[in-house]
Structure 1
Amino acid sequence: MTATAGPRENGVGPDGGAAAERLHPVLLHHIVNTLGWPQLRELQEAAVAPLLAGDDSVLLAATASGKTEAAVFPLLSRMASEQWAGLSVLYVCPLKALLNNLEPRLRTYSSWLGRRTAVWHGDVTASTRRAILRDRPDLLLTTPESIEAMLVSANVEHARFFADLRAVVVDEVHAFAGDDRGWHLLAVLERLSHTIGRPLQRIGLSATVGNPPELLTWLQGSESGRRPGRVVAPHLDPTAPNSTATDPAAPAPSTPAAPTPAGQIELDYVGSLQNAATVISALHRGEKRLVFCESRQEVEELGQLLRMKGVTTFLSHASLALDERRRSEQAFAEARDCVIVSTSTLELGVDVGDLDRVIQIGAPRSVASLLQRLGRTGRRPGTTRNCLFLAPDRPSLLRAAGLLLLWGRGWVEPVVAPPEPRHIVAQQILALCLQERQVGGNVWHDWWNGLEPFTGSAEVILRHLVEQGYLQRDGDMLFIGPEAELRFGHRHFMAMTAVFTAPPEFTVLAGRTELGRIDPSLLTEQVQGPRRLLLAGRSWQVTYVDWKRRRCFVEPVDSGGKARWTGSGIAGLSFELSRAMRDVVLGAEPPVALTRRATDQLAEIREQHLPAAHPGGTTVTRLPSGDVHWWTWAGFRTNATLTSTLAGLTDPLQEHTDLYLRLRRDLTPAQWRAGIADARDRLCLPEVDEKALSGLKFNTALPQRLALATLATRLADLPSALEVLREPSRFVIV
Structure 2
Amino acid sequence: MSEFALLSEPIRRYINDKRWGAFRPIQSAAIKRILGTEDNYILVSRTASGKTEAAFLPILSKVDFKEPGVQVLYVSPLIALINDQFVRVEDLCRYIDVSITRWHGEANQAAKKKLLKQPEGVLLITPESIESLFTNHPEHARALFSRLKFIVIDEIHTFLGSDRGMHLRSLLSRINDLAADKKPRIVGLSATVGDYEEPKRFTGDPAHTKVLIDPTAKGINARFKYFKQEDEYTPQFIEELYNQVKDSKVLIFPNTRGNAEEIAVKLKRVSERKKGHPYFFSHHSAVDKELREYVEDFAKTNKRNNFCIACTSTLELGIDIGTVETVIQVDATHSIASLIQRVGRSGRREGHESQLLLYATEHWSTLQSFACWELFKEQFVEPVYSQEKPYDLMFHQTLSILKETNGLGRQALLQRLQNNPVFSRFSAAEIDSLLDYMIKSEYIEDLRRELIVGAEGEKLTTSRDFYSMFMSAVMLKVIHAGVTIGELELTPWLEVNDNILLSAKIWKIADIDLKAKKIFVIPANDGKKPVFTSGSGDVHPRIRQKMMELLNADLNRDEADDSAIDSVNEIKLLFKDFRLDHLSAVRPAIVKHKEIDIYTFTGTKINETLFFLIKTLHIAAELEDRKSRLRVFDNSINLNELVANLRHQLLNIKMHVSTLFENGEDGFRLSKWAVYLPVELKVEYVLQNSFDIPGTTAFLEGLQLATPILAETIVK
* TM-score normalised per structure 1: 0.87
| Contact persistence 2:670–2:686 (CA under 8 A) | no
Q: Report how many residues are paired.
A: 682
Distance 1:545 1:647, change over 3 A: closer
Give how far 1:565 is off. 5.5
Give how far 1:287 is off. 1.0
Taking the aligned partners of 2:614 and 2:43, their CA distance within structure 1 comes to 44
Cα deviation per residue 1:537-595 (whole Å; 9 max; x = unaligned)? 212222222111221111222354665565x2322322111111112223353686101
1:415 aligns with 2:384: yes
1:214 aligns with 2:195: no
Taking the aligned partners of 1:189 and 1:434, their CA distance within structure 2 comes to 17
For residue 236 of structure 1, give the secondary structure of its aligned residue in structure 2: coil
Give how far 1:38 is off. 3.3
Instruction: Single out whichever of 127-136 and 651-660 deviates more from structure 2.
Output: 651-660
| Contact persistence 2:43–2:188 (CA under 8 A) | yes
| Contact persistence 2:86–2:102 (CA under 8 A) | yes
| Contact persistence 1:643–1:650 (CA under 8 A) | no
| Contact persistence 1:92–1:143 (CA under 8 A) | yes
| Contact persistence 1:43–1:235 (CA under 8 A) | no
* Counterpart among 169, 175, 188 of residue 204 in structure 1: 188
Give how far 1:277 is off. 2.3
| Contact persistence 2:640–2:705 (CA under 8 A) | no
Taking the aligned partners of 2:526 and 2:307, their CA distance within structure 1 comes to 22
Show the 5 A alignment for 1:550-699. 550-558=517-525, 560=527, 568-589=534-555, 593-611=559-577, 614-615=580-581, 616-645=584-613, 651-655=619-623, 657=625, 659-663=628-632, 664-672=634-642, 674-675=644-645, 687=657, 692=667, 695-699=670-674
Aligned to 2:280: 313
Aligned to 1:158: 141
For residue 290 of structure 1, give the secondary structure of its aligned residue in structure 2: strand
| Contact persistence 2:506–2:530 (CA under 8 A) | no
For residue 118 of structure 1, give the secondary structure of its aligned residue in structure 2: strand
For residue 252 of structure 2, give the secondary structure of its aligned residue in structure 1: strand
Taking the aligned partners of 2:525 and 2:244, their CA distance within structure 1 comes to 26
Distance 1:269 1:685, change over 3 A: farther
Cα deviation per residue 1:222-246 (whole Å; 9 max; x = unaligned)? x333xx221111433325xxxxxxx
Cα deviation per residue 1:91-118 (whole Å; 9 max; x = unaligned)? 1111111111110110111121111111
Aligned to 2:504: 537
| Contact persistence 1:539–1:559 (CA under 8 A) | no
| Contact persistence 1:538–1:559 (CA under 8 A) | no
Taking the aligned partners of 1:199 and 1:213, their CA distance within structure 2 comes to 21
1:330 aligns with 2:330: no
For residue 439 of structure 2, give the secondary structure of its aligned residue in structure 1: helix
Aligned to 2:215: 235
| Contact persistence 1:650–1:662 (CA under 8 A) | no
1:193 aligns with 2:176: yes
**Partner amino acid for 2:269?**
M
For residue 259 of structure 2, give the secondary structure of its aligned residue in structure 1: helix
Taking the aligned partners of 2:86 and 2:596, their CA distance within structure 1 comes to 58
1:182 aligns with 2:165: yes
| Contact persistence 1:90–1:140 (CA under 8 A) | yes
Give how far 1:404 is off. 1.3
Taking the aligned partners of 2:439 and 2:347, their CA distance within structure 1 comes to 56
* Counterpart among 203, 206, 222 of residue 224 in structure 1: 206
Distance 1:184 1:686, change over 3 A: farther
Aligned to 1:459: 432
1:430 aligns with 2:395: no
Aligned to 1:118: 101
1:280 aligns with 2:241: yes
Give how far 1:48 is off. 2.0
Aligned to 2:456: 483
* Counterpart among 328, 332, 338 of residue 363 in structure 1: 332
Give how far 1:409 is off. 2.5
| Contact persistence 2:281–2:310 (CA under 8 A) | yes
Instruction: Single out whichever of 385-394 and 610-619 deviates more from structure 2.
Output: 610-619
Give how far 1:465 is off. 1.6
1:19 aligns with 2:8: no
Taking the aligned partners of 1:136 and 1:379, their CA distance within structure 2 comes to 37
Give how far 1:187 is off. 0.4
Distance 1:100 1:408, change over 3 A: same
Instruction: Single out whichever of 152-161 and 672-681 deviates more from structure 2.
Output: 672-681
CA RMSD of aligned residues (A): 2.6
For residue 521 of structure 1, give the secondary structure of its aligned residue in structure 2: coil
Taking the aligned partners of 2:554 and 2:431, their CA distance within structure 1 comes to 48
1:495 aligns with 2:468: no
Give how far 1:350 is off. 0.5
**Partner amino acid for 1:69?**
E
1:65 aligns with 2:26: no
Aligned to 1:11: none
Distance 1:588 1:695, change over 3 A: farther
Taking the aligned partners of 2:69 and 2:687, their CA distance within structure 1 comes to 45
Taking the aligned partners of 2:614 and 2:313, their CA distance within structure 1 comes to 36
Distance 1:613 1:453, change over 3 A: farther
Taking the aligned partners of 1:512 and 1:563, their CA distance within structure 2 comes to 22
Aligned to 1:6: none
For residue 51 of structure 1, give the secondary structure of its aligned residue in structure 2: helix
1:547 aligns with 2:514: yes
| Contact persistence 2:47–2:345 (CA under 8 A) | yes
| Contact persistence 2:279–2:308 (CA under 8 A) | yes
**Partner amino acid for 1:50?**
R
**Partner amino acid for 2:548?**
R
Distance 1:522 1:341, change over 3 A: farther
Give how far 1:705 is off. 2.1
Give how far 1:34 is off. 1.4
Taking the aligned partners of 1:514 and 1:522, their CA distance within structure 2 comes to 22
Taking the aligned partners of 2:615 and 2:505, their CA distance within structure 1 comes to 48
* Counterpart among 468, 477, 489 of residue 507 in structure 1: 477
Cα deviation per residue 1:383-409 (whole Å; 9 max; x = unaligned)? 211210111222321221221122232
Aligned to 1:245: none
For residue 447 of structure 1, give the secondary structure of its aligned residue in structure 2: helix
For residue 309 of structure 1, give the secondary structure of its aligned residue in structure 2: helix
Aligned to 1:302: 263
| Contact persistence 2:473–2:490 (CA under 8 A) | no
* Counterpart among 6, 10, 14 of residue 30 in structure 1: 14
Distance 1:609 1:359, change over 3 A: same
Give how far 1:136 is off. 2.6
Unaligned runs of 5+ in 1: 1-16, 240-259
Cα deviation per residue 1:30-66 (whole Å; 9 max; x = unaligned)? 21x2121233221111112332222111111111111
Taking the aligned partners of 2:686 and 2:579, their CA distance within structure 1 comes to 31
Taking the aligned partners of 2:170 and 2:113, their CA distance within structure 1 comes to 26
| Contact persistence 1:509–1:552 (CA under 8 A) | yes
| Contact persistence 2:400–2:461 (CA under 8 A) | no
| Contact persistence 1:540–1:561 (CA under 8 A) | no
**Partner amino acid for 2:283?**
S
| Contact persistence 2:499–2:531 (CA under 8 A) | no
For residue 707 of structure 2, give the secondary structure of its aligned residue in structure 1: strand
Instruction: Single out whichever of 308-317 and 417-426 deviates more from structure 2.
Output: 417-426
Aligned to 1:42: 25
| Contact persistence 1:153–1:435 (CA under 8 A) | yes
**Partner amino acid for 1:496?**
F
| Contact persistence 1:408–1:590 (CA under 8 A) | no
Identity %: 25
Taking the aligned partners of 1:441 and 1:285, their CA distance within structure 2 comes to 65
Give how far 1:188 is off. 0.5
